[in-house]
Chain A
């Protein structure tokens, strides 16, 4: 569970306070990061926390600052202000040895062989030659690359290159795994395999932070999300609680009979906080503010015809996302 740092405008009623991931238990703590490139502000007092053993999705539109945040975790971008702490201490080379990173821009040595390459990165992260070779074999077996150990990277298919990239990030069994757009360019089977692996790692105690634009997948995969917009965290928390506390919900109404064109026109305009998404002569989809009294909505609908369906649902992640980023 993470708590938003500076912007909690959607969380006034206590998601953050109820969250189990409070400061003490938090593994990764990012506080008030600021980064400017010339006149462009990439990060604007960005704060987030990732508790130990959680799988956290970092979401945001293009240019929101996701990659910059991730790069800052590894010292690849030096922030103008703000702090990154791991287990309560500022990150340094000792911490980075326990981090694994798969950048958005994938990169490997094209002419190096698969096994050698994975082991080399293991050694750079502090493994002995023997341990690195063993770990490389283990991850090649795990990721279906066992018969590719002696193949040059540039002779591999795109999918296999992605697997090597993942093995490189995992070879030293990192405590914190950071994956920038790990699902980009994968086929549906590879997506499932990667999602299962991330889930498994998380179960085994690895803290995982990943970014993605595939919101359906994120919704399915992780319990915690952080939504970033214009370098700023606009929403963060446990997905179930964000949905429960979302300011707007989905409502679906279905009548027993046709009621003609735009039958909802009069009563929906009488109810503040109710917005029509789409409708036909029998069916209507609405979003409603949390403050709206649903009894009143139901009563208005019944005044038109008998109601056979009155579905009230929390919003999907993509609705939450659009809502958070729109304002």
Chain B
């Protein structure tokens, strides 16, 4: 075929195909609507749990003139220790303080005798801080009555450092696991959805018969490659928008207890999406070319969907035990690497050589699939009628001749 005759021409054609595919996807209403929905879901998916679990991080507390002495200072100190931003305002008396709470101007108020006033249920975040502050203020008051000096009281109340030993380091596992699982679900969805676009795109070209007009002008590898590149780029734009939204939402809401590797995990997910998409869309594309009608496409691509599903399930098992030997192996092999490797990276320390090997095997797999896929595509794409068998398409000998003449 023509690859050897004009590589520059074939590349130019590939880019033209990619540009058309990208434009068609990005201009489509489906793309815009799905992007907006995805972005809203991503932002809400991060922000709502942070609000629900963390609650508001900014509070205003009213302190009356009759509250225990140094109450305001104690509230500020304890809030700072707990990582909360608390503004203390003073109120003339209990009635004024209660009014502020009732209006919502203050989250809570502290009155005479250390009484804490809430509008309804106490805030789970602020409540411990105020309780501690009241206790501290009242204890300080009692200590003064017992004749302790201010310095002695401060020493008495100095925070106690409790030595803590964890026999198993698990402190951030939960948060890390959630991030790994979210990333995995995102990857799975992106691979399935965009691989599906390649599948339907190829079958549509075949069923609308435009493929014969196309292939009279450009080699099948340019058509297949351009289609995958264009759709992949559309997917990458959407994936990047989701990743950026996730990063911005995290930066704005600043949930506490986020493991240190969270932000680094985002570019890693994007990189594995690119590799995984190239691999799976080639599989989708070459198997999809065996079908002639959209109805047959899902059946033709059945094996790819099955493999993707199995790897998705494996990934859930792997989350529970990311250090297992089999997880290490499947994280480096092409079909499963795009989902298992980012998972391992989020959960355990992955040696650089394993990451490098996974990437190299992946690139090799993509190249091999591209060669094989172009061959299958070339042999199958002009065949119409019943779905071709894989072996027939590989050998280029359909059992029945093409409908050559009407």
Q: Which residues of A contact B (CB under 8 A)?
A: 37-38, 40, 42, 60-68, 71, 74-78, 92-94, 96-97, 99, 101-112, 120-121, 123-126, 165, 168-169, 181, 184
The 14 listed contacts between A and B (C-beta, < 8 Å) are: A37-B397, A40-B401, A63-B404, A67-B405, A78-B1, A93-B2, A93-B9, A94-B9, A97-B9, A104-B406, A107-B208, A108-B213, A120-B16, A124-B17
B397→A38 contact, CB < 8 A: yes
The residue on A at minimum CB distance from B206 is A107
Shortest distance from the beta carbon of B382 to any chain A beta carbon, whole Å: 6
What residues of B have a CB within 8 angstroms of the CB of A102 in the complex? Answer: 213
A65→B213 contact, CB < 8 A: no
Query: Is B371 engaged at the interface, CB distance under 8 Å to the other chain?
Result: no
How many angstroms between the C-alpha atoms of A120 and B17 in the bound complex?
9
Query: Is B209 engaged at the interface, CB distance under 8 Å to the other chain?
Result: yes
With A62-B405, A109-B208 already in contact, the answer to whether A74 and B16 are too (CB < 8 A) is: no
What residues of A have a CB within 8 angstroms of the CB of B24 in the complex? Answer: 111-112
How many angstroms between the C-alpha atoms of A277 and B141 in the bound complex?
132
Query: Is B210 engaged at the interface, CB distance under 8 Å to the other chain?
Result: yes
B217→A121 contact, CB < 8 A: yes
A106→B9 contact, CB < 8 A: no
How many angstroms between the C-alpha atoms of A125 and B215 in the bound complex?
11
The residue on A at minimum CB distance from B215 is A76
Query: Is B402 engaged at the interface, CB distance under 8 Å to the other chain?
Result: yes
Shortest distance from the beta carbon of A135 to any chain B beta carbon, whole Å: 14
**Residues of B212-247 contacting chain A, CB below 8 A:** 212-219
How many angstroms between the C-alpha atoms of A168 and B212 in the bound complex?
12
What residues of B have a CB within 8 angstroms of the CB of A126 in the complex? Answer: 9
A66 contact from B214, B384, B401, B404, Cβ within 8 A: B404
**Residues of B375-405 contacting chain A, CB below 8 A:** 382, 384, 396-402, 404-405
A124→B208 contact, CB < 8 A: no
How many angstroms between the C-alpha atoms of A104 and B403 in the bound complex?
11
With A97-B9, A108-B210, A124-B16 already in contact, the answer to whether A71 and B217 are too (CB < 8 A) is: no
What residues of A have a CB within 8 angstroms of the CB of B83 in the complex? Answer: none
A64→B405 contact, CB < 8 A: yes
How many angstroms between the C-alpha atoms of A216 and B270 in the bound complex?
63
Query: Is B332 engaged at the interface, CB distance under 8 Å to the other chain?
Result: no
What residues of A have a CB within 8 angstroms of the CB of B216 in the complex? Answer: 74, 76, 96, 99, 101, 103
What residues of B have a CB within 8 angstroms of the CB of A38 in the complex? Answer: 397-401
The residue on B at minimum CB distance from A74 is B216
With A106-B209, A108-B210 already in contact, the answer to whether A92 and B5 are too (CB < 8 A) is: yes
How many angstroms between the C-alpha atoms of A321 and B6 in the bound complex?
41
The residue on B at minimum CB distance from A61 is B405
Interface SS of B by simple majority:
loop
The residue on B at minimum CB distance from A126 is B9
What residues of A have a CB within 8 angstroms of the CB of B215 in the complex? Answer: 74, 76
Q: What string of 1s and 0s marks CB contacts (under 8 Å) between B18-40 and chain A? A: 00100010000000000000000
User: What 7 A-B pairs are tightest by C-beta distance, nearest first?
Assistant: A107-B209, A93-B2, A92-B5, A107-B210, A37-B401, A101-B216, A74-B216
B2→A75 contact, CB < 8 A: yes
Query: Is B341 engaged at the interface, CB distance under 8 Å to the other chain?
Result: no
B211→A107 contact, CB < 8 A: yes
A94→B401 contact, CB < 8 A: no
Query: Is B13 engaged at the interface, CB distance under 8 Å to the other chain?
Result: yes
A96→B404 contact, CB < 8 A: no
How many angstroms between the C-alpha atoms of A123 and B210 in the bound complex?
16
How many angstroms between the C-alpha atoms of A48 and B1 in the bound complex?
22
Q: Which residues of B contact A (CB under 8 A)?
A: 1-2, 5-6, 9-10, 13, 16-17, 20, 24, 205, 208-219, 382, 384, 396-402, 404-406
What residues of A have a CB within 8 angstroms of the CB of B217 in the complex? Answer: 96-97, 121, 124-125
What residues of A have a CB within 8 angstroms of the CB of B10 in the complex? Answer: 93
A65→B2 contact, CB < 8 A: no
How many angstroms between the C-alpha atoms of A181 and B406 in the bound complex?
10
The residue on B at minimum CB distance from A99 is B216
A124→B214 contact, CB < 8 A: yes
With A96-B216, A110-B208, A123-B16 already in contact, the answer to whether A76 and B382 are too (CB < 8 A) is: yes
What residues of A have a CB within 8 angstroms of the CB of B405 in the complex? Answer: 60-67
A42→B212 contact, CB < 8 A: no
With A101-B216, A124-B16, A169-B213 already in contact, 10 other A-B pairs whose C-beta atoms are closer than 8 Å: A38-B397, A76-B382, A93-B6, A103-B213, A106-B209, A107-B208, A107-B211, A108-B210, A109-B205, A124-B13
What residues of B have a CB within 8 angstroms of the CB of A61 in the complex? Answer: 405
How many angstroms between the C-alpha atoms of A115 and B262 in the bound complex?
48
The residue on A at minimum CB distance from B207 is A107
A105→B212 contact, CB < 8 A: yes
A103→B399 contact, CB < 8 A: no
What residues of A have a CB within 8 angstroms of the CB of B209 in the complex? Answer: 103, 105-107
What residues of B have a CB within 8 angstroms of the CB of A123 in the complex? Answer: 16
Shortest distance from the beta carbon of A286 to any chain B beta carbon, whole Å: 33
What residues of A have a CB within 8 angstroms of the CB of B13 in the complex? Answer: 124
How many angstroms between the C-alpha atoms of A38 and B396 in the bound complex?
9
What residues of A have a CB within 8 angstroms of the CB of B9 in the complex? Answer: 93-94, 97, 126
What residues of A have a CB within 8 angstroms of the CB of B2 in the complex? Answer: 75, 92-93, 96
The residue on B at minimum CB distance from A40 is B401
The residue on A at minimum CB distance from B213 is A107
The residue on A at minimum CB distance from B402 is A37
What residues of B have a CB within 8 angstroms of the CB of A104 in the complex? Answer: 406
Shortest distance from the beta carbon of B24 to any chain A beta carbon, whole Å: 8
A76→B5 contact, CB < 8 A: no
What residues of A have a CB within 8 angstroms of the CB of B399 in the complex? Answer: 38
B406→A62 contact, CB < 8 A: yes
What residues of B have a CB within 8 angstroms of the CB of A66 in the complex? Answer: 404-405
What residues of A have a CB within 8 angstroms of the CB of B210 in the complex? Answer: 107-109
Shortest distance from the beta carbon of B12 to any chain A beta carbon, whole Å: 8
How many angstroms between the C-alpha atoms of A211 and B328 in the bound complex?
61
What residues of A have a CB within 8 angstroms of the CB of B5 in the complex? Answer: 92-94
Shortest distance from the beta carbon of A211 to any chain B beta carbon, whole Å: 9
What residues of B have a CB within 8 angstroms of the CB of A107 in the complex? Answer: 208-213
Shortest distance from the beta carbon of A226 to any chain B beta carbon, whole Å: 15
How many angstroms between the C-alpha atoms of A241 and B244 in the bound complex?
75
With A38-B399, A126-B9 already in contact, the answer to whether A120 and B20 are too (CB < 8 A) is: yes
How many angstroms between the C-alpha atoms of A76 and B404 in the bound complex?
12
The residue on B at minimum CB distance from A178 is B216
How many angstroms between the C-alpha atoms of A304 and B209 in the bound complex?
62
The residue on B at minimum CB distance from A125 is B217
The residue on B at minimum CB distance from A111 is B24
Shortest distance from the beta carbon of B384 to any chain A beta carbon, whole Å: 8
